Structure formats: structure tokens, C-alpha cells
């Protein structure tokens, strides 16, 4: 997708200021823990309650951290988790939602998923009188969605990218999961930022990241693309809505000796943050989420709901962009550095 629209008079200095402001705002926020929820935690209980936890998959750092944290939090609050993992299989995901609905738990929490696949079954759960909450899924059938602020994530990552390339150059985009709401929001925010910089162009056709074998597939696609664009400077950056394609792309750039190209992604997987910290690695930035805290917060919201409290439509847990300059600080705050 190529963006050719007219741009306002915004230069590299302005870009750097925007990125600095965004980074400072996030750095000033408390990363570790939704303390508001924690403050009320002592009054929460799920004693005698059965809570369905439906995961799309647990092969990714974010998914596994959120899934395990939810199971532990249900137990800690005295409830019984009914946890199921679809292993990235949409057919199995539908089947496990059907099974959960038949078991009539006191609530169901759905972690991620393609909206067109899960939404009919979330509606059936609600129609059966089962409260539905979600993690990173913007379904209209969810009473509360606990997530990162994906609008902020998408904007901050795009500003970092555009700043790093000096406001001009070709960028490669992985856009294989637009049906997954957080990916769509992050992609839309990239496009919203890029449209103001006419010298930044998204190369067409966009690439499609896949599951499984995401790293290997990204490595193969980027290697082929580098053969198509052999001149240094012909590509400035590679963007993806999550950081596993970024991992494969970074490995491909290193193998090809094209370390002048920077990569960008989202999630804060430890292996990608290590690459960002490596001054010789093409990994430019990774927005780190707090999946375990998101999982715990979702379960605390279940407890609040079952106790009669009114929940907001969305609960946001802070995320922080890690770049070459601040990655060590970010990993320490996340407790993984």
C-alpha cells in the first residue's frame, strides 16, 4: 500500500520530539501492575465459581503468559479454572467454545482470536446467560476487554520507525492478520502516521505473516525480498503487528548482511528485546506489553463483575516502547532484564 498524500511541514526534528514525548509519557506511567485493580484485590473472591478460559493458542510469549496468569489468578481467588487451548486451530477453537458453553461456567474469558470466527460463539454464550469477557478482542458481545492501548502502541511504533528512517524511504509491512483486532488497530495507526510523510512509502504487495512457522516463513519472505531490492537504502524498515515476524525478518537481515535496515514489532518477547539491546542487530524497536498483568486483570474483572460491580467497556494495561536507547531500562521495569 503506497501512500502519496500531501504532508504538513513536519521535519525530522519534529519527529524526534514526538517520539520523545510519547516515550516520556509512557516512561512516566507505572508499568508493573494495574495497581488500581491490585488495591481492591483483597476484597475479590471467586470461591465456588467455575471460570472458562479459552485461548486461541499458547505458542506465543504473550498468549502463554496471559493464559497461565489467568489460571493462577482464578485459583488464587478460590475459583476453579476450566482452561482450554485451541492450538491455533480455528475449528478447535469453535469446538472448545461450544464445550465451554455446554458446561455453563459462571463466566468465560476469551484470549485473542479472529473476530469472525469467535464472535458467533461469544454471542451464543451471552444468549445462554454466561458473562463473556475478553483479552485483546474487541467483540461487541464482551462485557469487558482487558488489553493494551493498541491505538497508542500503533502510533508510538510508527513514530519511532518514521523518526529512525529520517522521514523518508521504503518500508516493508507484514499484514497477515488484519482480522485480529489489535493487529488491525496497529496497522491502521501506521497508515495514519505514514500518510503525513509523503517520502515514506509502504511497498506493495504487503507481506502476509503466517502461523505456524512464523519465524521461518518471515526469514524466507525477507530473504526473497532482499534479492529483489539488492541496493542498500532501497528498503529502510520492516514493520509487523507482532514481534515473531520481526524475529524472522531480523535474522534474515543479519544473514544477508543488510543490517542497515531496521525492524519493528510489538509484544516484548524476551528474544526480540535482546536483539533490540544488541547494537549490531537490525532490531530497531519493540513495544513491550504486560501479558501476565493483562491476564490477572481480566480475572480480577470477572470477580468484580460477579460481585455486582459495573465494569468499563475496556481496561487498559500500560505498554512501553523499547528502542536502542532505553531497552535496558524497559526490560528491568518488566522484570525480564
Task: Give the distance between the most distant pair of CA atoms in the chain.
Answer: 64
Average pLDDT of the chain is: 89
Residue 161 confidence (pLDDT) above 90: yes
Radius of gyration of the chain (CA): 20
174 DSSP β-pair partners: 207
Q: What is the pLDDT of residue 196?
A: 98
> Cell triple for residue 332?
528491568
Cβ atoms of 266 and 239 closer than 8 Å:
no
Task: Kindly indicate the confidence band of residue 41, based on its pLDDT and cuts at 50, 70 and 90.
Answer: low
> Cell triple for residue 162?
518514521
Q: How far apart are CA 164 and CA 15, in angstroms?
A: 9
Q: Spell out a b/e string for 218-238, using b for 16 or more CB atoms within 10 Å of the CB, else e.
A: bbebbbebbeeeeeeeebbbb
Helical spans, DSSP H, in the chain: 12-28, 35-40, 61-76, 90-103, 115-127, 150-164, 181-194, 214-228, 243-256, 270-277, 291-306, 327-334
213's torsion region: left (phi>0), alpha (psi -120 to 50) or beta? left
43 compared with 256, residue with greater pLDDT? 256
Q: What is the pLDDT of residue 335?
A: 74
Q: How far is CA 178 from CA 183, 244, 300, in A?
A: 6, 16, 29
Residue 11 confidence (pLDDT) above 70: no
Helical spans, DSSP H, in 104-242: 115-127, 150-164, 181-194, 214-228
Average pLDDT for 217-238: 98
Q: How far is CA 48 from CA 78, 105, 134, 230, in A?
A: 7, 11, 21, 63
Q: What is the pLDDT of residue 14?
A: 38
Question: How does pLDDT run across 235-255, given as a tens digit for each residue?
Answer: 999 999 999 999 999 999 999
pTM, 2 dp: 0.77
266 DSSP β-pair partners: 287
Amino acid at each position: 500500500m503506497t501512500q502519496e498524500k500531501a504532508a504538513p511541514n513536519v521535519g525530522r526534528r519534529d519527529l524526534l520530539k514526538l517520539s520523545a514525548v510519547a516515550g516520556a509519557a509512557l516512561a512516566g506511567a507505572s508499568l508493573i501492575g494495574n495497581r488500581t485493580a491490585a488495591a481492591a484485590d483483597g476484597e475479590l473472591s471467586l470461591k465456588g465459581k467455575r471460570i472458562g478460559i479459552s485461548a486461541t493458542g499458547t505458542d506465543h510469549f504473550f498468549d502463554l503468559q496471559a493464559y497461565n496468569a489467568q489460571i493462577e489468578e482464578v485459583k488464587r481467588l478460590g475459583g476453579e479454572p476450566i482452561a482450554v487451548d485451541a492450538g491455533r486451530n480455528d475449528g478447535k477453537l469453535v469446538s472448545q467454545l461450544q464445550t465451554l458453553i455446554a458446561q455453563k461456567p459462571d463466566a468465560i474469558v476469551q484470549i485473542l482470536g479472529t473476530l469472525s470466527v469467535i464472535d458467533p460463539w461469544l454471542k451464543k454464550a451471552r444468549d445462554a446467560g454466561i458473562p463473556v469477557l475478553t483479552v485483546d478482542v474487541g467483540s461487541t458481545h464482551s462485557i469487558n476487554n482487558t488489553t493494551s492501548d493498541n491505538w497508542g502502541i500503533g502510533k508510538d511504533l510508527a513514530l519511532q520507525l518514521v523518526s529512525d528512517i529520517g522521514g523518508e524511504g521504503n518500508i516493508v509491512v507484514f499484514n497477515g492478520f488484519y482480522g485480529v483486532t489489535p493487529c488491525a488497530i496497529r496497522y491502521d495507526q501506521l497508515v495514519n502516521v505514514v500518510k503525513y510523510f509523503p517520502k515514506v512509502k509502504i511497498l506493495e504487495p504487503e507481506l502476509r505473516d503466517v502461523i505456524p512457522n512464523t519465524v521461518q516463513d518471515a526469514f524466507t519472505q525477507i530473504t526473497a525480498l532482499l534479492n529483489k531490492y539488492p541496493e542498500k537504502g532501497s528498503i529502510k524498515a520492516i514493520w509487523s503487528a507482532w514481534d515473531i515476524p520481526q524475529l524472522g525478518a531480523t535474522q534474515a537481515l543479519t544473514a544477508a548482511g543488510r543490517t542497515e535496515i531496521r525492524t519493528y514489532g510489538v509484544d516484548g518477547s524476551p528474544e526480540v528485546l535482546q536483539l533490540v539491546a544488541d547494537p549490531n542487530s537490525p532490531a530497531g524497536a519493540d513495544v513491550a506489553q504486560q501479558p501476565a498483568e493483562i491476564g490477572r486483570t481480566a480475572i480480577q474483572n470477572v470477580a468484580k463483575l460477579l460481585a455486582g460491580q459495573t465494569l468499563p467497556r475496556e481496561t487498559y494495561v500500560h505498554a512501553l516502547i523499547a528502542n536502542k536507547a532505553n531497552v535496558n531500562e524497559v526490560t528491568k521495569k518488566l522484570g525480564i532484564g
